Amino acid sequence: MNPLGQRGGPLTTLMAKEKTDVVQNDNRIGDGENKRPDVDAKDRGNGRFIRGEAKIGNGDFESEHSKTQYKLFSDRENNGVDSWLILGVPSGRKNEMLNVLNGCLTERQLGKVAVWEF
């Protein structure tokens, strides 16, 4: 199943919180800092973590901070269930974001990322 919910049906009830969890950067990836996503939730059915980030461009897509977020948030699992990263970008900027992601993520990580336009 991919971050768009294809194959396997819709997600079960999600648990959302007011404050997102900090994702530890134990391997000192990218800028070496721990990261907190804009939004996170956990699927009660399978334990999958879903993290979300809104990016506006103007250097935000390709900053070291952002690239570290993409790597950390797309490379996690919980009890063998891969986490997903959903990125929101302004309308017309999806291909720009995909180019950045293709340059910094592995194929496995890319399979756990969805880019949505707003």
Whole-model pTM?
Answer: 0.84
- What's the pLDDT tens digit per position in 62-107? 999 999 999 999 999 888 999 999 999 999 999 999 999 999 999 9
114 pLDDT above the threshold of 90: yes
Q: What is the pLDDT of residue 31?
A: 96
For domain 14-117, the CATH class is alpha beta
Domains of the chain, residue spans: 14-117
Q: What is the pLDDT of residue 56?
A: 94
Q: What is the pLDDT of residue 7?
A: 47
Three-state SS letters, the chain? CCCCCCCCCCCCCEEECCCCCCECCCCCCCCCCCECCCEEEEECCCCCEEEEEECCCCCCCCCHHHHHHHHHHCCCEECCEECEEEEEECCCCHHHHHHHHHHHCCHHHHCCEEEEEC
Q: What's the rounded mean pLDDT across residues 1-8?
A: 49
